[in-house]
Amino acid sequence: MIFQMPVQGKSSNCYILSCDASKKAVIIDPGSGSDAIMTTLMKEHLDPELIILTHGHHDHIGAVEKLRKELQIKVAVHKKDAEMLINPIKNRSQFWGTNITLSPAEICLEDNQKIVIGNMEISVIHTPGHTPGSISLLTDQGLFSGDTLFDGQVGKTDLPGGSIDDLLSSIHNKLLVLKDDVKVYPGHGGSTTIGNERSANPYIRYELWKGEISW
């Protein structure tokens, strides 16, 4: 089951992905709102095992430290974004005056790594472009695309470490190869499908990309 939780004040999405059989769960991108996340976990009788971050920007990591301590669970991020968690300049929180500094991630992920939570298998897809260590997470329930692919948009690449060439390569070579009916749960905005983005997303074409991205 998927619980989508918009992060108040940051326009980003946090997801709780759970195994129906075991009630074990993973928390994806808790940007803030730890109390709301805890309430959902308790209400649904879920047993969280891991926090996974699709990348290291402040609007996706703000509630990590509180949840990590309260739930006594580990944090996983791609190895190329690991330093962002401990550096408020690199995670952009200093720019917003919040200065988020986390403890180092216990797990540094790599491309094609498999994570098993209950009966769920989560495949890590390294999709650099928005950040060097951006990842998407593929499960039987859908693709969690972080800030790589949105409904009708793509992630911005004008921040340090961003690359439009890497982003479009990630989207074309790793995400658009998936089946049309794969549901996409992005880091901002509403859900979409791979088929919708393949046919209608103007930003995945080099010649139409103008940098008009807000996330």
Q: pLDDT (tens digit, 0 to 9) for every residue of the chain, 215 residues total?
A: 999 987 766 689 999 999 999 999 999 999 988 999 999 999 999 999 999 999 999 999 999 999 999 999 999 999 999 999 999 999 998 887 888 999 999 999 999 999 999 999 999 999 999 999 999 999 999 999 999 999 999 999 999 999 999 999 999 999 999 999 999 999 999 999 999 999 999 988 654 444 444 44
Asked if residue 48 lies in contact with residue 41, where contact means CB atoms within 8 angstroms, the answer is: yes
CATH 2.40.50.100 for domain 2-208, yes or no, is no
Main-chain dihedrals φ then ψ at residue 137, nearest 5 degrees: -120, 120
Question: pTM for this structure?
Answer: 0.93
Q: Which amino acid is residue 46, in one-letter code?
A: L
Domain spans in the chain, listed from the N-terminal domain onward: 2-208
Alpha carbons within 13 A on the beta-carbon side of 116: 2
d(CA 99, CA 108): 22
